[in-house]
Structure 1
Amino acid sequence: MLRKCYAPLILTKTFWTPRVTLIRLRTMMITLLVLTTLASLAVTSPVLPTQTWPPAFCNKLECPKYTTVKTTKDYEERIYKAAKWTSTIVSGMEYNPAVSEGFMKLFSYIEGNNKKKAVIPMTAPVATKVEHGQGPYCKTNFTVSFFVPFADQADPPQPSAADVFTNPLPQMTAFVKSFGGFAKEKDWTETAQALAESLDNATISYHKDFYYTAGYNSPFQLFDRHNEVWFIKAD
């Protein structure tokens, strides 16, 4: 019968000394602690959405800077930096005629109807603050605004028209719901109602007496249109 031969396993005295064993045990415990901590961080740390600037829906125009802090299936939560806008207020019963009137006043401003006679680049979005009057037959105030380009934020050209003004807005948190297509007044209203319902269901505090609409596209752009409704978080 053949006998299998094995090289003898030599355990040196140094390997088994209490000092070396203690060092190895301590190293293993530290390694385990580090791995456990990293695993815990991987589970509990929030993962914020990757954000590029400017967003594609700005269509290469300057638009106000914001940070997305939360995204759900119903809305996006953004923090907008404080910024200046150029605004005009139009009162009326219907959204589209009022916004069109406000747009033309602001377009005249950026085309040179300002104290510097400066031609100012178009920006995005055309934002409209909608404040409904009290009662079914009261007029709504529509504050139509163009974002002031970054180069002019410190000192915007003063409007020549009495009903156009520089409008500094503070930092604000906006709850945003987006939709596509050519937006009609019904689309804005229904989107605002859906967003308000989502915020109410989530017991989120927001200003209920007004909201913003934001349109990002020229009327000549037929596809990939982007529209938003904003409610502003209440302090």
Structure 2
Amino acid sequence: MARITLEELNELDDEVPDEEDEPMDGEEQNRLFSHWETVASTHQVSLPQEMAGPIMQMARHNQTREPVPYATLSQHEKCEEIAYEERLYPAGKWACITRGEPKYEQSISMGFMKLIRYICKENSLGRQLGMTVPVINEIHLNKEGTELLQEVITAYYLPEEFQPNPPLPLDPDIQIQERAPLRVIARVFYGTTTEETILREIHLLWELLGSTDNVLRETYLVAAYQNPGVPNRRNEIWFIRRAD
């Protein structure tokens, strides 16, 4: 399945009725599933039929996407535009899954396919949890910094309602993790997220920062805000500050 991210689900919400309205007929369901199959094919993965139910559930929930909370510590400009900013994300609980597919796009797609089923009632509460933004993908580089390692961790922040007591996943591959406060340097970029574009954005941010010893060099985060069908979609690359 393609990376099922937040804005795509918002678009689909506009196309289908709310849960209180009449349910979609067979033609509408087939059209929606075909849409996801097409998006999935761009990531070189297949969308299994068992995802039809979760897709329909997500499309019917026209909820506000809850932002992951953070505080802006500083902003840095270049040519009178914000080049990057430093943020502090508080400790919080995330649902995480690790995949190691041949391509980055496949790993994030397969990982989020499982997470979306957790969000859509495959949890100990048996209810739809709602979405948060952004979805985070943790990547690791080789020592030379020239290529991504295959293992990618995809993480979904639990909505505030569920932070004190997160619903347990029915899928044993998904782990609920309490993550420590995170201080990052974030830079926005637009377009596709592939190994090539991610490495380019990492290089560009290092050029802006210059030499510094208090940033991790082998672990980075890619924040996904919009769906893969948007040609100029918004993403961010996050550098992680070392703990003091």
Name the TM tier (shorter chain): 0.5 to 0.7
Match of 2:88 among 62, 69, 79: 79
Q: 1:203 aligns with which of 202, 207, 212?
A: 212
Greater radius of gyration (CA)? 1
Q: Which residue of 2 aligns with 1:226?
A: 234
Spell out, residue by residue over 1:78-128, the C-alpha distance to the aligned partner (whole angstroms, 9 max, x if none): 011111111100013321011100010101110111122121102111100
Equivalent position SS for 2:216: coil
* Contact 1:128/1:212 (8 A) holds in 2: yes
Q: Which residue of 2 aligns with 1:114?
A: 123
The two structures have a TM-score, normalised by structure 1, of 0.67
Check 1:214–1:138 CA distance in 2 against 1; reply closer, same or farther (3 A cut): closer
- 1:130 is displaced (CA, Å) by 0.3
C-alpha separation in 2, matches of 1:164 and 1:210: 21
Q: Does 1:148 align with 2:149?
A: no
Distance 2:101 2:175 in 1: 19
AA aligned to 2:239 is F
Is 1:130 aligned with 2:139? yes
> Would you say the 8 A contact 2:88–2:184 is kept in 1?
yes
Q: Which has the higher strand share?
A: 2
Q: Paired residues, what number?
A: 175
Counterpart for residue 52 of structure 2: none
Counterpart code for 1:119: Q
The runs of 4+ residues in structure 1 deviating greater than 4 Å are: 133-139, 220-223
Unaligned runs of 5+ in 2: 1-9, 11-63, 78-82
Q: How does 1:96-107 map to 2 (within 5 A)?
A: 96-107=105-116
What CA distance in whole angstroms lies between the structure 2 residues aligned with 1:104 and 1:172? 26
CA contact (8 A) 1:64 1:83 kept: no
Instruction: State the 1:209 CA deviation.
Output: 1.7
Structure 2 length normalisation: TM-score? 0.65
Q: Percent identity?
A: 28
1:179 aligns with 2:179: no
Unaligned runs of 5+ in 1: 1-58
Q: Provide the rounded CA distance (Å) in 1 between the counterparts of 2:148 and 2:156.
A: 26
Query: Conserved in 2, the CA contact under 8 Å of 1:118 and 1:157?
Result: no
C-alpha distance 91-132 of structure 1, shift in aligned 2 (>3 A)? farther
Q: How many Å separate the matches in 2 of 1:139 and 1:67?
A: 30
